Amino acid sequence: MKDQIDELAVFGGTPAFQEKLYVGRPNIGNREQILQRIADMLDRRWLSNNGLYVQDLEKRIAKLLDVKHCIAICNATVALEITSRALDLTGEVIVPSFTFIATAHALQWQEITPVFCDIDPVTHCLNPWRIESMITPRTTGIVGVHLWGHPCNTEALTEVASKHNLKLMFDASHAFGCSHNGTMIGNFGDAEVFSFHATKFINAFEGGAVVTNNDDLATKIRLMKNFGFAGYDNVTYIGVNGKMNEACAAMALTSLESLDEFTQINYRNYKCYQSELAGIPGLKLYAHDEAEKRNYQYIVVEMEESVTQVSRDQIVKILHAENVMARRYFYPGCHRMEPYRSYFPHAGLLLPETERLTERVLVLPTGTAIDESDIRLICKILRFVLAHGISIRKQLQSALKPAHFAENQGEFQCTKH
């Protein structure tokens, strides 16, 4: 363990971890089960096109969430595209900027303009009281994001949507297995979309699903994700290929069977971070509501630089050197990425909370690949760094000054998962 600043890996010490710890390292589940399912699938020679695994997965998800329809899709981005199209969204749609870029891209890909709305600084989700000021005659809908598995204020959003005759859908990519006032996520708005990407709570390698209680919408989405085929040789609609294949469904089923175990491990990790980070000035762990169902998939820390003295980006640099691959989700915010940055260069003026948060947030590793001793060590490093904030900041600045990238010391590329 580090007792001296020079022992930090960023200053040439040995990294605290020999191997990199990642945010979003995939949870695997029962290895024998997935391999057996793949073998059965090969024997059946039914690899895609609404196979048995896809049918089973859709049934199990609908039952688990107590929702009428579940349609498995190849990934959440395509699911968002199909759903927004099935809801006849056009013109402008109100979305948060503090989200993964796919929320905005799924709209822009269809030439629907995402209009970025600010968030609530406590929940990190859309601020419903800011929606009305963003509505124009071209607005057709709202896409809320249940960020970190925290439900949006669905009541207020439903009210504003119905008052202005807008469609309401949710990007629930983070919120599988979560509840809101006792109702499972999946039952809110016109439809909700889940992601089963490898890094998500439940994973299908790549995958997603749309869930809805609207029969007509479900029928339309089923057609759209399969080229509009209503039967052999009968196309009744324009569609794309959004089908989930059987290998992905096999993985998703296996992953789903470990849902309770993944939740327990994530919860254990969350509680460990909570106690280990307690009382570190300037650090605040994002609180998951334990009275509701949560998947505890994201360990989110907010930093107050005026207290910690080292910036969030410096902390990320320090942790990466120790092989803790913390991430700055969702930096810099969709509105500061292309093409939106060029379309709306001043969007940030209406997004003060988003801009503040993108500079403060740090996401730490969790999941089945991490144990409590890892977490204790990560937190020890954080505690040490923040106890010596001023000296470390000075040393980082002088260490970097002679280098050619002195100008750019806060900048670095986000590495992939």
Ligand X SMILES: *Cc1c(COP(=O)(O)O)cnc(C)c1O
| Residues near ligand X (CB under 6 A) | 75-77, 99-100, 102-103, 145, 171, 173-174, 195, 197, 208
Q: How far is the CB of 276 from ligand X (least distance, A)?
A: 26
CA-closest candidate to residue 240, choices 379, 83, 30: 83
| For ligand X, the closer CB: 207 or 389 | 207
H or E stretch covering 247: helix 246-257
Distance separating alpha carbons of residues 154 and 118, to the nearest angstrom: 16
| For ligand X, the closer CB: 176 or 270 | 176
User: Burial, 19: exposed, middle or buried (Cβ in 10 Å; 0-12, 13-18, 19+)?
Assistant: exposed
| For ligand X, the closer CB: 103 or 314 | 103
3-state secondary structure of 141: strand
Q: How far is the CB of 386 from ligand X (least distance, A)?
A: 28
Q: Which amino acid is at 80?
A: L
Please enumerate in sequence order all residues whose Cβ is within 8 A of that of 75, keeping only pairs 6 or more positions apart, or say none: 195, 196, 197, 206, 207, 208
Which one of 2, 200, 220, 317 is the catalytic residue? 200
| For ligand X, the closer CB: 171 or 192 | 171
Residue nearest to ligand X (CB): 76
Let me know if 394 is a catalytic residue: no
SS3 readout for 358-400: HCCEEEECCCCCCCHHHHHHHHHHHHHHHHCHHHHHHHHHHHH
What is the distance, to the nearest Å, from the Cα of residue 360 to the centroid of all Cα atoms in its chain?
Answer: 17
| For ligand X, the closer CB: 73 or 382 | 73
Q: How far is the CB of 324 from ligand X (least distance, A)?
A: 21
Is there a contact between 58 and 186 (Cβ–Cβ < 8 Å)? no
Q: How far is the CB of 45 from ligand X (least distance, A)?
A: 27
Determine how many CB atoms are found less than 10 A away from the CB of residue 300: 20
Q: How far is the CB of 413 from ligand X (least distance, A)?
A: 19
Catalytic positions are 200
